[in-house]
Amino acid sequence: MNNKIKIKQNSSSLSEFVQRPIASDEEVEAFDEYAENEAKEEEIKNSLIKIYQDDQGNRVDVKKMIIKAKRGLLFNLFTFLIVLFVFGGAIYGAYNYIYLKIINNKATVTLEFNANKEVVAGEEFYYDLNYKNEDNVDMTKIEIKITYPDNFIFLNSEPEPSRNNNIWEITSLDAHRSDVIRIKGKLAGPSDSSNIILADIIYTPKNFSSEFKKSTSLETKINDIGLDFSFNNSSGALINETNEIAVKFKAKTESYISNLRLNVEHPEEAEIISLELANQDNASSSAVKAGAPAGLIVQSSGPDIWFLSNFGKNENEFKIKFKIKEKKQPNINLKLKFELPEQTLNLPPKYHLFYEKDLVYDVIKSDLNINLIINGSPFDQGVDFGQTLNYSINYANKGDTAMKDVIIMAILESDFINWQTLNDQNNGKISGNTISWSKQEIPALAELPSGAEAVMDFSLKLKTQAEIDLSKTYQVKSYVQYSIESKNVSLDNQSNAVINKINSDLNLSEQVRYFNDDNIAVGSGPLPPKVGQATSLKVYWAINNNLHELNDLRISVTLPANIAWDNKNRASVGSLDYDSQTNQVVWQIGRLPVTVFKADAEFNISISPGESDRNKIMIILPGTNVAAIDSETNTQINKTLKAKNTMLEDDNMASGDGIIQ
């Protein structure tokens, strides 16, 4: 400042300044500024004294003082994250040990079933439940509970259950120790049904207060029931007439059901009259006679319930007779339920359903009762190409008054009827697929008095086997209708319907040859055969089948006394064997699907003519038999081929008179 007096900190004291006699305005202004600065310095000094003192108020030596830097926001945030990470890791570690290791038991306990994946109904087998303590501590207060499939029959277990056949209480299981519960039983359910068994283990680790749980399961399938059933019944049932169901069943090779309960369920308008054995001579329906029983045993157990036992290996047959008392609905259903009994000590018996059959009947209410029978049966049955169908029509007037101008019509629905072969003594009229008779053909139909009954017969043949056309239905559906005085035909004016399914076109080609198709000798020895010398010939079999799958297919021939098995055998399917005890050659095929386009076999036989055979034609194969069951018609097919002799008609190179020299 140019016009002001400058006052420095090292200038004279304030007292000296005051003692000066005169003070100009500049000096006064400078003094005020100095005083103000001096006050600020004192205030700062006092503040520093407060800062640089210890807890007792003493001044701190600044030279020896350690100054700590003040922590900012980023430092605090970083510190918080580190603490959170450490704390979270601790929580996760505790969770991982307590929940994953103990509660969830991923590592501490193993529980697993071991058993057959497939069984036959009634077959005894074992469920093995393996459990192991994988932890380093012992397990205590262990309870294992098993939930069985609905169709399971418990027999016993090792160890025995603590209670209810399904709960085991175990005191403890040491660390890293294992054990097993073995349960013996059987399943009784329908074929192809799946059955699931469940197991839960509840336990407490030693020095731990909480219970923990582990579960497991296993699925077992019933692949077969071990019994073959077939049913013969008509499709319609007349009111107040006795109707019949024929039931056949046979134990398979692998079968475990030796007794069963049959329960017939039906609506209230139907009445079950009886259950009778087809052959009363082979069984007792009341009690087992002295010694081993000869056949199927049937015992009644209340209305509509029967127990069947002593099946044996042969086919069993019984008949159920019933009556429909009134028509409440167009059709009724009879349900046949086959059940396996389970008897538990001190408990009521249980019954496990393993097979059932629904039989639906059209209810027919008519004053003129008509019953149709084909080849001696009112039931559906299989027939062969070219077979004759013999029809019988039984009719009776069950009304209170006479019936006039009755027309009876037989309807035969099929593409395979040879109408040219119709044999009908009453000369019925053919129109399309219908044969009809009126009073012109049968005068008695002009008026049928109440209670009048009669039978009319006719027959015709099926067409012979032709090229298979899978677009057609290979069956004949037959039924009879009637009308009165030109009234319209209704469903109530109809007989039972019979369906004859045509059996598969099973055919066996058989050749006996010395030379094959390439004119190469496949036989040996003299030709024609000579007395005292052996001649070997080749037998060729070939199966042709296109329509239905076959079961139990078997080809067999019994060789004559002077014909011997000469080996050199081969079969494309099945097994070709020779029984030296019976001198029989058997080609056992069993199941033959229609997808098998080729099935053939061959073998050699040796002819050794005796003196009595000289100048004669010898029989080589007396008639080969072919037997099978058609899977579609459920009918036994049996065919016997013509005999083969030494003329060798199948061999163009070797054919001749066949006379033994």
- Distance from the Cα of residue 93 to its chain's centroid: 49
- Kindly list the distances between the CA atom of residue 38 and the CA atoms of 13, 18, 29, 43, in Å, as whole numbers in the listed order: 13, 16, 14, 9
Q: Which residue has the tokens 């400042």?
A: 1
- Kindly list the distances between the CA atom of residue 125 and the CA atoms of 32, 120, 150, 348, 405, in Å, as whole numbers in the listed order: 117, 10, 16, 24, 69
Give the pLDDT score at 239.
85
Torsion-angle region of residue 420: left (phi > 0), alpha (psi -120 to 50) or beta? alpha
% of the chain with per-residue pLDDT over 90: 59
pLDDT tens per residue across span 343-379: 877 778 899 999 999 999 988 877 888 999 999 988 8
Amino acid at the residue 556: S
- Kindly list the distances between the CA atom of residue 156 and the CA atoms of 164, 196, 256, 286, 345, in Å, as whole numbers in the listed order: 12, 19, 18, 32, 12
pTM above 0.85, yes or no: no
pLDDT at residue 87 tops 50 = yes
Report yes or no: 179 and 201 within 8 Å, Cβ to Cβ.
Answer: no
Give the pLDDT score at 539.
96
Residue 624's Cβ-side half-sphere holds a number of Cα atoms within 13 Å equal to 22
Give the pLDDT score at 29.
55
pLDDT at residue 4 tops 50 = no
pLDDT at residue 101 tops 60 = no
Distance CA 541, CA 552 (A): 17
pLDDT tens per residue across span 375-399: 998 888 999 999 999 999 999 998 8
Q: Which residue has the tokens 């830097």?
A: 69
Q: How much is the mean pLDDT over the chain?
A: 84
Average pLDDT over residues 637-653: 92
Distance CA 585, CA 603 (A): 9
- The pLDDT-based confidence of 287 (bands split at 50, 70, 90) is very low
Give the pLDDT score at 324.
93
Report yes or no: 512 and 650 within 8 Å, Cβ to Cβ.
Answer: yes
Average pLDDT over residues 470-498: 81
Give the pLDDT score at 496.
86
pLDDT tens per residue across span 176-222: 999 999 999 999 999 999 999 999 999 999 888 888 999 999 999 99
Distance CA 120, CA 273 (A): 34
pLDDT tens per residue across span 20-72: 444 455 544 554 555 556 555 666 556 555 555 555 656 655 455 554 555 56
pLDDT at residue 502 tops 50 = yes
Give the pLDDT score at 340.
94
Give the pLDDT score at 209.
81
Distance CA 539, CA 513 (A): 7
- The pLDDT-based confidence of 289 (bands split at 50, 70, 90) is very low
* Residue 34 backbone phi and psi in degrees, to 5: -65, -45
- Kindly list the distances between the CA atom of residue 611 and the CA atoms of 195, 637, 660, in Å, as whole numbers in the listed order: 69, 40, 10
Give the pLDDT score at 45.
57
List the single range of 65-79, 244-258, 382-396, 600-614 with lowest mean pLDDT. Answer: 65-79
List the single range of 290-294, 485-489, 519-523, 582-586 with lowest mean pLDDT. Answer: 290-294
Most confident range (mean pLDDT) of 12-26, 97-111, 348-362 is 348-362
Average pLDDT over residues 16-22: 42
pLDDT tens per residue across span 149-176: 999 999 999 999 999 999 999 999 999 9
Average pLDDT over residues 470-493: 79
State whether residue 443 is helix, strand or coil.
Answer: helix
Give the pLDDT score at 90.
56
- Distance from the Cα of residue 137 to its chain's centroid: 45
How many Cβ atoms from other residues are within 10 Å of residue 438's Cβ? 17
- The pLDDT-based confidence of 400 (bands split at 50, 70, 90) is confident
pLDDT at residue 19 tops 50 = no
How many Cβ atoms from other residues are within 10 Å of residue 309's Cβ? 14
